[in-house]
Amino acid sequence: MIVNTNAIVISVLKYGEADLIVKCFTQKSGLKSYLLRGILKSKKGRFKVSMFQPLTQLELVAKHKDKGSLEYIQDAKLIAHYQSLHTNVVKSSMVLFLSEILRNSIQEEEQNEELYHFLENTFNWMDVHDNIANFHLLFLLKLTRFLGFYPDTSQAEGEYFNLLEGIFQDIKTNEYCIEGGNLQLLKLLLGTNFDELNAIKLNQSARSNFLTMLLGYYLVTY
């Protein structure tokens, strides 16, 4: 079946001497892996390697067999010409980190328009903004909504957040209950959008501690 769809590159893996396996989250078909034959050696081929950098947004014409095997791209073109995502050293490092998170967390092989548009919009936002020190924290938190374990905020006044259950509570019931600075930052970020990130001032230690907590949340619940 020939499919026309927008797609976001999640990861790229060298296969053999000249081929690439490119994993994309597509707007119409969810997660798909494509084999690009000879792309590393062909200078006159249809595709350039630079088109398949992590988080690149593409418009694809692809042949999908939908049998769990590698699919094939017939045509591809850029639909978002990033200004800085792959050229700014700080942003390119964050791109690699986020693409690794997405590679390990997105498993859907069916259409998910909401998740696709979330990724599309947030990467476009990151591309045109300079102060992104806290971007990954809010991105990872908001991504949990689409992965099925967004924190339950019905008891958000609680003095602990239980990473294992994804809920706020008043007493500590296990070793996965967080408090203190990480708890306060979690509550703050739950009510924050990307345009408000600049107002949140964190030192490196606080940022690192919260990221460690978030990654732990992913590990115990997903």
> Would you kindly state where each structural domain of the chain is located, as residue ranges?
2-83, 133-221
For residue 115, give the nearest of 81, 150, 88, 162 by alpha carbon.
150
Report d(CA 151, CA 141) in Å as an integer. Answer: 9
pLDDT for 68 equals 73
pLDDT for 180 equals 96
pLDDT for 221 equals 85
| Per-residue pLDDT tens listing for the chain (222 residues) | 899 999 999 999 999 889 999 999 999 999 999 999 999 887 777 888 999 999 999 999 999 987 778 999 999 999 989 999 999 999 999 999 999 999 999 988 789 999 999 999 999 999 999 999 999 999 999 999 999 999 999 999 999 999 999 999 999 999 999 999 999 999 999 999 999 999 999 999 999 999 999 999 999 987
Single pTM value for the model: 0.94
Q: What is the CATH number of domain 2-83?
A: 2.40.50.140
Token representation of residue 115: 């998740």
pLDDT for 108 equals 80
Element housing 208 (H / E)? helix 204-221
Q: CA torsion angle for 181, 168, 132, 50 (degrees, to 10)?
A: 130
Token representation of residue 174: 């296990």
* Contact residues for 58 (Cβ-Cβ < 8 A; gap 6+): 6, 7, 8, 9, 24, 51, 52, 76, 77, 78, 79
pLDDT for 132 equals 95
